Structures are given as C-alpha cells and as structure tokens.
Amino acid sequence: MTKSDNSNRKSVAGAAVAAGLVIIVFSAAYSVLAARLETPMNITLLTSAALELLPLEIGGWTGQEVPLDEKVVRATDTDAHINRIYSRRNETEHVSLYIAYGGRARDLMPHRPEVCYTGAGWTRIDRRSMELPLSDEMELPCNIFQFSRGTLNTKKTVLLNYYIVDGQYCRDVSGLRFKAWRGSGTVRYVAQVQIVTSTSVNLNASSAEKIVCSFAAESASSISRLFESTEDTRFSDEARFDPKRIFGGTGSDE
C-alpha cells in the first residue's frame, strides 16, 4: 500500500467520523427542540368554544361561523380552531378568518401556507413580509402571499399569515424555533392566524391586499386577548373564559 492510498483511507475515515458526529449532534439537537415543542403538562389548553368568544363584530366588520369538515379538522392537528367569514361595506368586502390553536407546537409547524396551498394545487406567485401598525402602538409582523390556480379562468387568492407564540406575535415559524432554541422553556401554545380574500373582476391583487391588511390590523388585539387566559394563571377555570374579563364590557347579574 502506498503512502497516497494510506492518506486517502485516513481522509475517508476522518470524513466518516465527522459525518457521524454531525448526525449525532443534529439528532441530539432535534430531540431537544422536539422536547421543548411538546405540550407542557401544567397548561390548560383552550377549547374551540373559548375561541368562539372572538367578537362577531370587529370594527366595521360583521362575522359568521363557517363550520369545517371533520376530516379537515383532524388533518390540521389542532386542539381548537375557528373558521369565519367577515364582511363590511354592505358585504362588498369579504375575508375568511381561520385561527388554529394548539399546545403541540411541532404539530402546527408543518401547516404553513406555502406548504398546504401548493400541496392543494395552488401556485405561489408572491410572498412579502410586512409590519402592520396597530392601534396600541405595537406592530404586527406578518407574511402576505399570493396564490393562483387555473389557466383560462385563473383564480387568485391573497393570504395574510402570522402566529402568536406564548403571547408574542411572530411572522413565521422561525420565531417559534428561536424561542425553543433559546432555552427559555417549553412553548406553551401556538396560534396560527390566516386571513384570506380572493381577487375578482372588481378587485385586483393590490386592493385585496389592502383588505386583508385592514382586517388584520383591526382584529389583532381581539385575537390576541383570546389567549390571555393561558398567560395568566391567577384566574380560576371559570373566570379565565369570562368574555367580559377578556373583552371588557359591563353587565348585571341575573
């Protein structure tokens, strides 16, 4: 055996050892991340009934429930959800609102618009990141997508997507991963918010984008308040789902 052959063998052996170490490191890292994305045992998860406390009247928008097929619900891996259509201006403007909520963060992470829509036959034609100003002087980080489908009668959809992770707005799942990697504890819950509208003869993509942005900005604080009960453990189970405490308002005891 020549010195060259011996050197090559050592190089291959060294590469194999290095590759093995990389696999071990990434396997360990995945185990850590997966553990931090599991549901903490001491967290009381919200139900769909709790999410339905979201007002049907938001600003100038009026909403109505749109039940999802049970097969679709099971496929989403959510612990709770709501699906509604909101309209305004004599129903000339419409948006679809879908909120998915769960304590198993790693189950919700795969259900991203760029994955689910393209898997359903849509083509992504645009994606942009934005920060929408909110009335409470905060900003809402979000992504806005445009999808199309068909050739002769092309359908176009504009979708605004963001997450709420333990009370914090996140543009995408990178924020969720960052929280887990940072070692600040397990992720207690994740909520994904999708606001969708479609273009038409009288509504181009630019106008459709303004509509979803308008609804997102007007509804963000109301949506965020839905999850305050999981942030504050001082309240009993009866109090934490009290809509008067969550959304304000007064009333007398009967």
Predicted pLDDT at 66: 94
Which pLDDT value is given to residue 193?
Answer: 96
Mean pLDDT of the chain: 75
Residue 56 has pLDDT above 50, yes or no: yes
Report the alpha-carbon distance of residue 133 to residue 141 in Å, rounded.
9
DSSP bridge pairs for 156:
148
Q: Per-residue pLDDT tens for 91-115?
A: 899 999 999 998 776 666 656 888 8
If we measure between CA atoms, which residue out of 223, 76, 99, 108 comes closest to residue 161? 99
pLDDT value of position 234 = 33
Question: How far is Cα 142 from Cα 127, in angstroms, rounded to an integer?
Answer: 10
What is d(CA 91, CA 61) in angstroms, rounded to the nearest whole number? Answer: 9
What is the arithmetic mean of pLDDT over 156-170? 93
Rounded distance between C-alpha atoms, residue 158 and residue 55, angstroms:
23
Q: Enumerate the domain spans of the chain.
A: 37-247
> pTM of the predicted model, to two decimals?
0.73
